[in-house]
Amino acid sequence: LGPAAPKEFEETIADATALTAAVESRRGGVMRLSEGVPDLRSVREGRPAAGRGWIGLTPRAAFQTRDITRRPLMPAWLALLLASGLIVGGWLREGRRSA
């Protein structure tokens, strides 16, 4: 089932020292969520990507939309049948109540 002491349990205290070089080279920041959830902002490339209480995201447009397919949830006749069945069922139930 795995080792008795897995690697992820060796250092369980969150520490930013392992990320410092990578974060500083990209002008970013490391924040603790215990101090509050930071606001998200859109920033341009080369600008600071973190500040007091906020984290910046650089939009890169690195995606491709290859295909979009639109399909109805159910056929129109089934939706009509279901809606009319619910209406008739509700009407019958209400009609059985004695005031």
Residue 80 resides in a domain: no
Residue 79 resides in a domain: no
Q: What is the pLDDT of residues 40-87, one digit of tens each?
A: 999 998 888 888 889 998 888 888 999 999 999 999 999 999 999 999
Residue 68 resides in a domain: no
Residue 12 resides in a domain: yes
Check pLDDT > 70 for residue 38.
yes
What's the pLDDT at 29? 86
- Domain boundaries, position 33: 7-57
Phi (first) and psi of residue 48, to 5 degrees: -60, 135
Total number of domains in the chain:
1
H or E element: which one contains 72?
Answer: none
CB 54 within 8 A of CB 39: yes
**Global pTM value:** 0.46
